[in-house]
């Protein structure tokens, strides 16, 4: 009975190690490396996008705090920009050249 038990443990261990070795070998191929690299790049892009969103949210929150502080101290409502870089989207008026 003991021998049968240890035979079963050996077979299961052999199967698990064989599958693990096959997976490791697959990951070492160019296709496996490209897949791992693609996953890493996607994860990095998601993290950068998330970080950017958090920075923008923090900027908007701080801008709101500053507007509230200006209104509180001066009693005058500060003009609020509509979205990011609203002043940069306004049309630029250029001086006309004097024709002569």
User: What is the sign of the dihedral through the CA atoms of 38, 43, 44 and 46?
Assistant: positive
Task: Please give the structure tokens belonging to residue 3.
Answer: 């021998």
Interval 9-63: pLDDT, tens: 999 999 999 999 998 888 888 888 888 899 999 999 999 999 999 999 999 999 9
More confident residue, 73 or 87: 73
CB burial class (10 A; 0-12, 13-18, 19+) of residue 32? middle
Q: What is the mean pLDDT of residues 78-100?
A: 55
Token duo for residue 25? 């070998």
Question: What is the predicted pLDDT for the residue at 63?
Answer: 94
The tokens describing 66, both together, are 């500053």
Decide if 11 contacts 17 (C-beta within 8 A): no
Tokens of 18: 């064989």
Tokens encoding 11: 């077979």
What is the rounded radius of gyration, in angstroms, for the C-alpha atoms of the chain? 32
pTM, two decimal places: 0.47
């Amino acid at each position: 009975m003991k021998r049968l038990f240890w035979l079963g443990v050996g077979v299961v261990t052999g199967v698990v190690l064989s599958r693990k070795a096959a997976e490791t070998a697959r990951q070492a191929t160019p296709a496996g490396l490209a897949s791992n690299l693609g996953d890493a790049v996607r994860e990095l892009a998601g993290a950068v996008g998330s970080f950017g969103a958090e920075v923008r949210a923090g900027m908007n929150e701080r801008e709101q705090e500053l507007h509230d502080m200006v209104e509180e101290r001066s009693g005058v409502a500060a003009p609020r920009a509509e979205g990011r870089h609203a002043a940069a989207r306004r049309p630029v008026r250029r001086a006309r050249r004097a024709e002569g």
